[in-house]
Each structure stands twice: as structure tokens, then as C-alpha cells.
């Protein structure tokens, strides 16, 4: 599964072209350059015969809107066990960009009181800003299952596997990625976005819509650093192992410890750090254990 259309081409507006002046040493060139798309998405939810409730507006990279909306509702604890019946975009008769609105249709009425309580303000770089309480977010995620034990060789291979699958990044250099892998290092799904948490929501949403939840036997690999929110969203999806090429925050480490998530950071070359719950990474072949 990929965050691309069926013919392997990124979705419309996912990547755009702009005229630039490129300076390289003593030379100058005027040319077109490929850049990542960014646009607002309004996420709405509605039950049977219920008017859609506005939940959040987030800046995201266009593409995979249904997955992003469903993943956001799942990882923010707003589905409450309800079945997702389907999704729909905005009205093309009244909106110039109907894919900038997505309505998630649910099996039961959506409780709009949850939105008022949570004070959602989401951006591409920070999905947790404006929430009423960090403790509230952490408390509603149940500690996850034991999960698999993964070979060190699999962990070390993940960055290259993720990078090889990032088609849009190759074109723009401006996207984060969230990749879902099996314990043997097989790529299950990959999604990209200008925001780390959006890429993860898209990937989780793809699995919700595929009926694959919870993700107890999966590994998450993300580009960039690991924030509290990345760990929280992974735990909400049941993912036991989170890996990243860069550093975690102290709150991300504390949250991983609390929720039972194995947290791997600075995964580069033949090195990595395990910050929480190291028992899921098989290190028996190494010296220095004691």
C-alpha cells in the first residue's frame, strides 16, 4: 500500500511546480522546481441523519484525505468504537477545492460535546496544540499488547526501506513519512505529508479502513524526530515499536514508558538508541550486555 494513486503518481496537488532562481556557487539558473503541496483540510463527522460536526482544521499535503480524517478521529479517541460507514468530500458546487473538506460517516451519532471539550487546534507541525490537557490524552490510551521481538538487522534496515518508498520526497525533499512494517521488515503501508502527525494519521487511517486494527504485530518507522504525539498516536493504534531517524523528546520517552511502547531513536547506519522497553529488540548477539 502506498500514499499514491493506483498508477504510482502522487495525488493531484500533492506535488506542484514553481519557478525559482537557483544559485549554485558562482552560477545562476532560472528553472521550475518541484515543491510539496500544503492546504487546509476541514475534518467533519456525522452519524445517521445527523448534520456534519466540524471537528478540526489541519494543514496537510493534499492526498489521502479520507485516511487522514479517519486516522485523526481514531488516534484522538473520537470514534468510540463506532463503525466508519464511509467518507465524502465537500460539495463541488459550492467549493473550489472540494477535497479540502472531508466528512466521515459513522454508524451512530457523533458526540459534538467531545470537540468542545478538547479545543482542537491542529497544524502541520503540531497536532496537539490547544488541547485541554496532555494528561487527558495520555490517560485515554490503554497500554498496548506485548507485540513481537524484532531482530537488530530488521531495525537497522528500516531507514533505507522507508527512504526507498518515498516517491514524493524524491521529487521535493519536503515531506515526512510514516511507514508500517512487519516484524520481518516487510513494508505494509507508507504515507507522506508535510506534517509528521498527518503522515501517521493517514497511515493509521488506511489500516482502519482496511479493517486491520489493532496493529499489535507491526513496527512504525517515521522520518524526523519523535514527539509525544507520535508515541500517543502509535499507542492508540496498538503499535508496540516506534523507530525514528532522529531524537525523541523527553515527554515522548516518558509516554513510551507509560504506555508500553518500545522507542528507538537516532536510527542511522549501524547505530540506534533504545529509550524505552528494549526487550522487544533482540540484542543477544552484542557484547556489553549485563
Active site residues: 126
Task: State the Cα–Cα distance between residues 228 and 129, nearest whole angstrom.
Answer: 12
d(CA 200, CA 235): 12
Report the C-alpha gap between 132 and 179 in whole angstroms: 29
Cβ partners under 8 Å of residue 194, min gap 6: 36, 37, 38, 59, 60, 61, 124, 174, 175, 176
| DSSP state for residue 133 in the 8-state scheme | -
Q: How far apart are CA 122 and CA 78, in angstroms?
A: 15
Angle formed at CA 215 by CA 123 and CA 134, multiple of 5 degrees: 40
Residue 189, C-beta contacts closer than 8 angstroms, at least 6 positions apart: 1, 2, 179, 180, 203, 206, 207
Q: How far is CA 62 from CA 1, 186, 226, 259, in A?
A: 17, 26, 23, 32
Contact 276, 250 (CB under 8 A): no
Amino acid at each position: 500500500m502506498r500514499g499514491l494513486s493506483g498508477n504510482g503518481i502522487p495525488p493531484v496537488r500533492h506535488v506542484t511546480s514553481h519557478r525559482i532562481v537557483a544559485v549554485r556557487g558562482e552560477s545562476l539558473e532560472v528553472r521550475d522546481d518541484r515543491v510539496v503541496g500544503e492546504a487546509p483540510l476541514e475534518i467533519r463527522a456525522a452519524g445517521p441523519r445527523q448534520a456534519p460536526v466540524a471537528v478540526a482544521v489541519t494543514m496537510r499535503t493534499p492526498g489521502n484525505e479520507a485516511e487522514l480524517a479517519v486516522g485523526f478521529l481514531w488516534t484522538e479517541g473520537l470514534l468510540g468504537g463506532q463503525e466508519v460507514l464511509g467518507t465524502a468530500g465537500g460539495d463541488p458546487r459550492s467549493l473550489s477545492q472540494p477535497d479540502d473538506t472531508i466528512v466521515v460517516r459513522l454508524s451512530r451519532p457523533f458526540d459534538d460535546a467531545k470537540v468542545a471539550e478538547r479545543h482542537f487546534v491542529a497544524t502541520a507541525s503540531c497536532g496537539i496544540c490547544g488541547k485541554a490537557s496532555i494528561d487527558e490524552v495520555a490517560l485515554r490510551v490503554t497500554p498496548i499488547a506485548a507485540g513481537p521481538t524484532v531482530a537488530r538487522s530488521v531495525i537497522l534496515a528500516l531507514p533505507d526501506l522507508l527512504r526507498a518508498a518515498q516517491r514524493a520526497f524524491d521529487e521535493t525533499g519536503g515531506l515526512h513519512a510514516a511507514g508500517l512494517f512487519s516484524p520481518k521488515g516487510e513494508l505494509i503501508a507508507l504515507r507522506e505529508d508535510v506534517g509528521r502527525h498527518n503522515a501517521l494519521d493517514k497511515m493509521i487511517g488506511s489500516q482502519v479502513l482496511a479493517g486491520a486494527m489493532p496493529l499489535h504485530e507491526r513496527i512504525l518507522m517515521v522520518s524526523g524526530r519523535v514527539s509525544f504525539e507520535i508515541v500517543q498516536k502509535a499507542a492508540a493504534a496498538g503499535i508496540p515499536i516506534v523507530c525514528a531517524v532522529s531524537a525523541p523528546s523527553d515527554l515522548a520517552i516518558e509516554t513510551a514508558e507509560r504506555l508500553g511502547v518500545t522507542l528507538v531513536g537516532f536510527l542511522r547506519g549501524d547505530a540506534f538508541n533504545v529509550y524505552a522497553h528494549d526487550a522487544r529488540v533482540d540484542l543477544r548477539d552484542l557484547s556489553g550486555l549485563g
